[in-house]
Amino acid sequence: MLRRIREQIGLHRHFLITAHERLDGDAIGSELALCHMLRNLGKEAVIFNQDRTPGNYLFLPGSDRIVHELPALDPFEVAFILDCGDLDRIGEAGARIGTIPNLINIDHHVSNEGFCDVRLIDPQASSTGEMIFRLVRDMGLAVTGEMATCLYMAILTDTGGFRYGNTRRDTLLAAADLVAGGADPQWISENVYESNPPARIRLLAAVLPTLRLEEGGWVGSLTVTQKALADAGALPEHTENFVDIPRSIRGVEISILYMELSDGRFKLSLRSKGKTNVERVARAFGGGGHINAAGCRTEGELSMIRSRVIRAIRASAAEA
Ligand SMILES: [Mn+2]
């Protein structure tokens, strides 16, 4: 596969780079690092994302050049689709991007269906950033300081600050090489984790009283309503990592964030500890992800959704 990716890069000149909607650090860091790599090779590369870049990632070199309007697709010979397992995850432009003649998918999600002929899929990798790091190295290319910053940030965020089960020896070795290549861990962490807008903390204050512990304290959840968002003057992106809060409670194995969307549906983010599988739970609702981190969308009344989720959790636990 590496050979085919190298071939595609050698043969073509115009590249579109994209990732999933509701961007996270891994998606943005991976896109930017790949974009720097292609430009260093003298290629034309444009990053398109449906959603705007969350404020705490705007420090990344190149983030000001990301576009949010889909450009005319004719010039693009290759699209890199990063950190997602199918075209729908890109958002509304997914189908159109799918018409670009050559698609290359780089991803680490278990639920990847293999929708591209040319693909690097490694569910063992901590992050797409770790995979891009390996790609750059295996292609014999230099990791510049800009790339190192973007890739370190991608790995840092997808491992929850090197804490999750996806943090393996290779992950830490990659991070070490990126620090050697110019990534500054303290500066990056301060930008990512210690640059909260006040609205995010106001929202958190409104959301903490919604904490629920169920199944004898085994399942913890928080709920974000549209009203709470509006009252705090906060944006949906400000809820990033709220789902980690119930998980931080002793005894909680599964943590859920119920997030009301503007159309009244709910987006569920699920996290778990150890071997407890939440990917299966998300899949029962048409979603997906990883064993310890998954998500889905569903509709209905919140109390109904909650009971269906608990039933799915019990069914998944019985299967294990
Ligand atoms: Mn990722």
The mean per-residue pLDDT over the stretch 293-318 comes to 96
Just give the CATH number of 2-193.
Answer: 3.90.1640.10
pLDDT tens, residue by residue, 243-301: 999 999 999 999 999 999 999 999 999 999 989 999 999 999 999 988 999 999 999 99
Decide: helix, strand or coil at residue 227.
helix
The domain spans of the chain are 2-193, 198-319
For the chain, the C-alpha Rg in angstroms (whole number) is: 19
Distance 126 CA to ligand 1 centre (A): 7
**Looking at the predicted structure, is the pLDDT value of residue 228 above 80?**
yes
Q: For residue 224, is pLDDT > 80?
A: yes
Distance of CA 18 from the midpoint of ligand 1 (Å): 13
Whole-number Å distance, alpha carbon 304 to ligand 1 midpoint, is: 30
Torsion angle in degrees (nearest 10) through CA of 294, 300, 301, 305: -30
3-state secondary structure of 237: helix
CB atoms within 10 A of CB 170: 14
Phi, psi at residue 30, to the nearest 5°? -65, -45
What is the residue-averaged pLDDT of the chain? 96
pLDDT(17) > 90: yes
Ligand 1 center from residue 134 Cα (angstroms):
15
Using the predicted structure, report yes or no on whether residue 55 has a pLDDT greater than 80.
Answer: yes
Contacts of 76 (CB under 8 A, 6+ apart): 14, 15, 16, 46, 100
CA distance to 19, 80, 193, per residue, from 28 (Å): 8, 13, 16
What is the CA(123)–ligand 1 centre distance, in A? 10
Ligand 1 center from residue 109 Cα (angstroms): 7
Q: Are strands 44-47 and 254-260 parallel, antiparallel or unpaired?
A: unpaired
* Nearest by Cα to 253 from 293, 289, 219: 219
Q: Where does the pLDDT of residue 2 fall: very low under 50, low under 70, confident under 90, or very high at 90 and above? A: confident
pLDDT at 257 (0 to 100): 98
Q: Of 305 and 320, which is predicted with more confidence?
A: 305
∠ CA 143-38-55, nearest 5°, is 75
Model confidence at 70, pLDDT cuts 50, 70, 90, reads very high
Tell me the CA–centroid distance for residue 315 and ligand 1, in Å.
Answer: 27
Query: What element of type H or E holds 295?
Result: strand 293-298
Name the pLDDT band for 92 (thresholds 50, 70, 90).
Answer: very high
What's residue 290's pLDDT? 87
Look at residue 213 and give its three-state secondary structure: strand
CB 186: neighbour CB atoms within 10 A? 7
- Whether the per-residue pLDDT at 320 is higher than 80: the answer is no
Strand arrangement of the beta sheet that strand 266-272 belongs to: 212-214, 219-224, 254-260, 266-272, 293-298, 288-289
Q: Quickly state the pLDDT bin for 319 (edges 50, 70, 90).
A: confident
Q: What is the pLDDT of residues 210-222, one digit of tens each?
A: 999 999 999 999 9
Query: Stretch 5-12: mean pLDDT, rounded?
Result: 96
Amino acid 113: pLDDT: 79
Average of pLDDT values for 32-48?
A: 98
Angle at 225 (CA atoms; ends 156, 59), nearest 5 degrees: 30
What is the pLDDT at residue 162? 97
Q: How many Å lie between the centroid of ligand 1 and the Cα of residue 231?
A: 31
Per-residue three-class SS string for 2-22: HHHHHHHHHHCCEEEEEECCC
- 155-203: per-residue pLDDT in tens? 999 999 999 889 999 999 999 999 999 999 999 999 999 999 999 999 9
What the block records as the tokens of 209 is 């009283």
Q: Would you identify the CATH topology of the domain 198-319?
A: Diaminopimelate Epimerase; Chain A, domain 1 (3.10.310)
pLDDT at residue 110, as a whole number: 80
Q: What is the mean pLDDT of residues 226-245?
A: 95
Digit-coded pLDDT (tens) for 108-163: 998 787 888 899 999 999 999 999 999 999 999 999 999 999 999 999 999 999 99
Contact between 120 and 135 under an 8 Å Cβ cutoff? The reply is yes
* Percent of all residues in the chain with a pLDDT value above 90, rounded to a whole number: 92
Q: Do 74 and 50 touch, CB atoms closer than 8 A?
A: no
In whole angstroms, give the CA distance from residue 36 to residue 80: 13
- Output the pLDDT for position 115: 87
The rounded Å distance from CA 44 to ligand 1 centre is 25
